[in-house]
Each structure stands twice: as C-alpha cells, then as structure tokens.
Structure 1
Amino acid sequence: MSIIKTKSFGLAAIITLICAVAGVLLAKLPYVNLIGALVIALLLGIAMQLTPSKLQTEAKSGMGFISNKFLRLGIILLGFRLNLEALAQAGVKTILVAMIGVTGTICLTYWLSRKFGAEDELAILSACGCGICGAAAVMGVSPQIETTNEERKRENEVLAVAVVCVMGTVFTLVEIGLKPLLGLSNPQFGIVAGGSLHEIAHAVAAGGAFGETSLDNALIMKLSRVLLLAPVALIVGYWYQRRLVREKIEDHEQAQKKLPIPWFLGGFILTSILGTFLPFSAVFLDGLVQAAYIFLGMAMAALGISVNFKVIFKRGGAVFGAAVISSTCLLIYMILMSKLFF
C-alpha cells in the first residue's frame, strides 16, 4: 500500500510541479502578468482534467497531500516577502487604512453573498479573497473551515479563487483607465492600487504602469493587507469553532476541545520577522519567495485537477455579484483615503 501511495504522490508532484513552474514563467509575460502565477497554475491544473482518466486516478491520493501540506509550506515561505520595517516606515495610517478596508470588504462581501443566496463557506472564502490578498488568502483561510464534504470544499475554494481573479483583473484595467480622470498623483494611485486590487500581481501591474513611486506605494499598501491574513484566519477559525458548539453540528466535546490555531500562519509571521531582521541577501529572499509560489502553484494545480466545474458554474452568480459591489465600494474608499491622507 505504501508503494502505491508513494507512486501516487510522485506522479502528482510531477504533474503539479510542471503546472506551477509554467505558471511562474508565464506570469512574467506582458498582459499575462495581470492574471498571476497562482491562477495560471490553477488553470493549467484544470486543463490537466483532459488527460487520460487512468492517469488522474493514479495521482488522486497524492493530489490531496499536495493541496493540503504544500499549501501550508507555500504560505509560510510567502512571509519572506513581507518586510515589516517597510510597513513600519510607511506609518500607522497605512496599517489603519488597510485594517478598515479589509474589515469592511470582508463583512460587506460576506453579507451580500449570503443575501444573494451563496452558501456560508463559499461566502467567507470569497470575502477573504477580496478583502486580503486574492488566491493566497482563500487558500490560507480555507484550512480553518472544517467540513465533512471535502469535494464541496474544493469546489468552494476554486470558485472563490475564480471570483478574486476575475474581479482583480477587471478592476486593474478599470483603475488604469480611470487614473487620468481621478486627479490622483502617481504615489496616490499606488496607494489606491495596493489597497483595492485583490492579487499582489494585480497591484504590481497597476502600480507599475505609472512609475517607481506608484509601484512602491502599491506594494507597501498591498503588503499591509497581506499582514492581516494571519489574524483574519484566526478570527475565522474561532468563529467557525464557536458555531460548531452553538449549533451542535458536530460532536460537542470535540468542538470545545479543539483550538482553531493555524500553526502554518505562525510560520508565516516567523518568516516575515526573519526576512526583515536577518541579513539575507535580496537574491536569497527572492529565491524563497519564488519557492513559495512554486509550492502554492502546486497546491492550486492539484485543486484544479480535482474539482467538479459543472457544479461550480451553477453556484457562481451570487458571489460574483457580491464581489462586484464590494470591490467597487473598496475602490471608492481607497480613492477617498488616498486624497485625504497620502
């Protein structure tokens, strides 16, 4: 049995690694970079569903391991991107603006999604993706949501990622087009891009379109939102555990004893501290961040290979509608903040 599992993992690792590396390389191309490496890896994983069913069956058990463990490893390594000194230098106002924007967007997207008929888990995943940092936030928060239906959970993850990808890409183009009409300076536009766009790739693409100061501000504002991934995941985990106790959906004693602590997000914070205060070279840190995207890309590819998309297309309208409204509100909020405080 162990030989079979080893073979399955090896096959799954090869398939997902190809998708992840291809995603990183393709994301360097003009225009394609609007999508981002993680979403490209997901799309390539979806394309792998066209391969022979025998191949997919042999790799199936390995896919589960990769989508779970490699996801956590990627999130931990992603912490090396977060420079805490740069965030501190940007000032308290940047963090406060990010906190208000993230909190408001998550609450509004979740509330609207539920009003429009989306199920609870899908609503919270989409809300966190729109509010924090796109696909990485969806995959970072998802382990905090316990469920007995893993297939349904994968569908919700992919649909939430699709929402933030589409919204982020559309709003990237919208914001670049609106910039001359808004009367924003280049540094102010960077604040708007970093504070309102979902993926890091979206913020980089929009901010980089108007020079270095715009790009720098976009990254600082975006990373201020990324910093909130750990506390949001903790809050979501605690919230779901309390609901298990209150609603008695699962065993009452088990729900009480289990602590909703995402240890891999502790690793994310630790790597942020190490990357900020230890004398690592820029090349070394960049290599670690690239490794993070490889592991995350492998997890996304495994997700794409495993999911049932016929079901997803039937359930996407509610969260897409909610994301359009909340993303528009977030953009308006960031325009006002940039004019008032930056």
Structure 2
Amino acid sequence: MFSRGNRGNTLHGILLIALFSFSAFYIAEIPFVKSLSFSPLIVGIILGMIYANSLRNRLPETWVPGIKFCTKQVLRAGIVLYGFRLTLTQVAEVGLPAVVIDTIVVAGTIFLGIWLGRLLKIDKDTALMTSTGSAICGAAAVLGAEPVVKCEGHKTAIAVSTVVIFGTISMFLYPIMYRAGLLDGLSDMGVAIYTGSTLHEVAHVAGAGNAMDPTDALGIAGPATITKMIRVMMLAPVLVIMSFALAGRKRVDAEGRPVKSKIAIPWFAFGFIGIICLNSLLQYLTGAETVKDIPLNGAIEYIDTFMLTMAMTALGTDTSIDKFKQAGAKPFVLAFLLYIWLVGGGYLLTKYLVPALA
C-alpha cells in the first residue's frame, strides 16, 4: 500500500478523505445541523455517500488503497483512542443497576437481531452489524465490528444509516415521553439509566438527557451519559466474543470455493480497554474530577473524532444508491423491530430491575 511506487497515490486517497472530513467538521458546527446532534461522523458518511453517487467513477483507481487505509488502519486507531473518553470511575458512579441493565440490553439486542434477521431472511453480516450498532453505541460500534465481521463497505453504511435514523428519533421522543408523564413509573435515576441503556449514539443520549434535565439538577443528564459510556465499554468484550463466534463460518473466495474463516483477534479492542485503564490512572494521578479535566484529553478526543470521521467518510464513498436498493427495506424493518425492543423492553427492565438492584 505504501510501497515506493504507490506511496503518492495512496496519500492522494487519504488526503481526499481528510478534505471531506474537514468539511464534515465545518458542516457539523452549522446551528441547524448541531441542533439535530449530528456529529461529524454522521455528516462525514453522508458526504461520502453523496460523493459515491456523483463523482465516484471519476476517482483514479490508484487512489483506492488510500481510501481502504482509512477504513481499516485509521478506523482501528480511532477505536483505540476512543478509550480516552472513558474511565473506570464512571462505572462506580452509577453502580450495579446500570451495569446489569446495560449487559442485558446489549446481549438481548444482539441475539434478538440475529434471530429476527433469520426470520426476515436478511444477509447475516447486515443483520449482525445492525444489531451491534443498536445494542452498543451506534455508528462507533458498527465501525468497531466491521474489521471483525469483514463485510462489504455498503453493508456497514446501511447499518450506520439505520441506527442514525432511530437514534435521532429517540433523541426527540424521550423528552416528549418524559414531559407527557409516560416515564413517571421510573425514578430520576431510573430515567437516566433507561435513557443511557437504550439510545443509540452518545450524542443522542447527551441531547435527550439535557432536554429532560438541562442543569442536571435532577441527576438525569449526567448519569444517563455515564450509563451510555458503560455500554460503550462493552464493545471490546463483544468484539472478542464475536471474533471467536465467526471463526468457523464458511465463506467463498472469488471463484466460489469455500474458505473457512480464521479467528481474527481484534487486538484494537484490547487496546481500547488498555486506554481506558490508562485514562483511569491518569485521572487518579492528576486529580481530575471528570474525564474532560484530564490533561490533553480534549485534544486527543478531537483527533480521535477526526480519525473516526475519516473512516466513516471512506465507508460512505463505497456506498451507492444501487447498493441500498439491493439491500432493500428489510434492514430498516430489522432496525425498527430492535427499536421497539429497546424502547419497550428497556423501560420494563429499568422499571423492575433498578429498584431490586439499588
């Protein structure tokens, strides 16, 4: 990829994705886009998809390795650096109820998604990616699963699209439910855990939490985000289990001959956990009250967001309308059914388990 004869073309592909990513950061700061809580990652994949359906055929094929580099190496490095947003202290702050409910929601969503995928006769990779995104942390989880599942780029983009749509709906729905009294059966901590354990993206949880509790006086906004970050932590063990589960799956090569998959240990997942532990140590040594107060944390988070935006944009450039048509409406039906489970099942879990575990 970076051989002497191909180095320049590869860099051209990377620079093209970087240019789109800078644009995504700029667009994400536009007030209207910001009000929708669309992160640069989401804007990036949209820009990539626009490019895929307009000027993609004019891209020199020699630039493609640079784009592939963004969807693999840059992506994995971004997932590792994502650990700087988390500390082990956050787990202790919300306690056992959040951990238990997060675990049930994550495991239940993935298994339910796989089962529903079979009933709907959806491609296994698409069903697994959609389920993982709904279960853990939206687009970031889909990106993390992509190197393990090893599916085509357009399937990743389809999975991202589903979690973005339903996560955005939830961001507006949950505050409406709260104000309408539909969540009166939950305590303030219960509302926080329910929000953090069932919404898709971290940005969606932050948006919904702030809408219900702008000053965090009720203890909803903060604990909701922490509950969500515990879910994010579960990405690493899920990827390891997924890697072993997919090891025996049979695939076919370009000539149609069966090829047995090997165990692909997601080392970046261990790096993710290692960074969380390092970040926890840094918080202790520096005496920082929150993750945001740890020295250089803000700069690292910005760099990480840019790297993940590059990965999302690169995936978008491989996603044309024809591929969405080929996938059909079934992935969105699957995402909708999982959404019903998250909203309804998550509420019942929170209502009965939080008082029992508190």
Which shows bigger deviation, 216-225 or 20-29? Answer: 20-29
2-side partners of 1:18 and 1:111: how far apart? 40
Which shows bigger deviation, 183-192 or 268-277? Answer: 183-192
Conserved 8 A contact 2:192-2:209: yes
Compared with structure 1, are the counterparts of its residues 4 and 301 closer, same or farther at alpha carbon in structure 2 (3 Å cutoff)? farther
How far 1:262 sits from its partner (Å)?
A: 0.4
Partner residue in 1 for 2:314:
302
Matched, 1:214 2:215: no
Match of 2:298 among 286, 296, 307: 286
Which shows bigger deviation, 194-203 or 71-80? Answer: 194-203
1-side partners of 2:146 and 2:59: how far apart? 27
For 1:68, give the aligned amino acid.
Answer: K
2-side partners of 1:120 and 1:52: how far apart? 28
Partner residue in 2 for 1:173:
172
Alignment of 1:107-186 (within 5 A): 107-146=111-150, 153-180=152-179, 181-182=181-182, 183=184, 184=186, 186=188
Conserved 8 A contact 1:275-1:285: no
SS at match of 2:203: helix
Conserved 8 A contact 1:24-1:293: no
Partner residue in 2 for 1:101:
105
2-side partners of 1:110 and 1:305: how far apart? 27
For 1:324, give the aligned amino acid.
Answer: F
Once the two structures are superposed, residues 68-95 of structure 1 have per-residue CA deviations (whole angstroms, 9 ceiling, x without a partner) of 1000000000011111111123212211
Conserved 8 A contact 1:75-1:140: yes
SS at match of 1:300: helix
Conserved 8 A contact 1:77-1:288: yes
For 1:168, give the aligned amino acid.
Answer: G
How far 1:226 sits from its partner (Å)?
A: 0.7
Taking structure 1 as the reference length, the TM-score comes to 0.89
Once the two structures are superposed, residues 139-178 of structure 1 have per-residue CA deviations (whole angstroms, 9 ceiling, x without a partner) of 111211246xxxxx11111111111111111122221221
Compared with structure 1, are the counterparts of its residues 28 and 114 closer, same or farther at alpha carbon in structure 2 (3 Å cutoff)? farther
Alignment of 1:70-85 (within 5 A): 70-85=74-89
Conserved 8 A contact 1:189-1:207: no
Matched, 1:334 2:346: yes
Conserved 8 A contact 2:246-2:263: no
Q: Structure 2, unaligned stretches of length 5 or more?
A: 252-256, 287-292
Matched, 1:46 2:58: no
Taking structure 2 as the reference length, the TM-score comes to 0.85
SS at match of 2:6: helix
1-side partners of 2:50 and 2:5: how far apart? 25
How far 1:45 sits from its partner (Å)?
A: 1.4
Alignment coverage as a number of residue pairs: 331
Task: Flag the structure with higher helix content.
Answer: 1
For 2:123, give the aligned amino acid.
Answer: E
Match of 1:230 among 220, 231, 236: 236
Once the two structures are superposed, residues 257-280 of structure 1 have per-residue CA deviations (whole angstroms, 9 ceiling, x without a partner) of x43310011110011111111246
Compared with structure 1, are the counterparts of its residues 273 and 24 closer, same or farther at alpha carbon in structure 2 (3 Å cutoff)? farther
Which shows bigger deviation, 323-332 or 70-79? Answer: 323-332
2-side partners of 1:30 and 1:114: how far apart? 41
Once the two structures are superposed, residues 89-144 of structure 1 have per-residue CA deviations (whole angstroms, 9 ceiling, x without a partner) of 32122111100011111111221122112111111000000000111111111211
Compared with structure 1, are the counterparts of its residues 83 and 26 closer, same or farther at alpha carbon in structure 2 (3 Å cutoff)? farther
2-side partners of 1:221 and 1:53: how far apart? 44
RMSD after superposition: 2.4
Once the two structures are superposed, residues 281-300 of structure 1 have per-residue CA deviations (whole angstroms, 9 ceiling, x without a partner) of 53511221221111111011
For 1:172, give the aligned amino acid.
Answer: M
How far 1:334 sits from its partner (Å)?
A: 2.7
Match of 1:192 among 187, 191, 194: 194
Compared with structure 1, are the counterparts of its residues 93 and 295 closer, same or farther at alpha carbon in structure 2 (3 Å cutoff)? same
Q: Percent identity?
A: 28
1-side partners of 2:248 and 2:39: how far apart? 35
Compared with structure 1, are the counterparts of its residues 120 and 214 closer, same or farther at alpha carbon in structure 2 (3 Å cutoff)? same
Conserved 8 A contact 2:98-2:197: no
2-side partners of 1:198 and 1:64: how far apart? 26
How far 1:56 sits from its partner (Å)?
A: 5.0
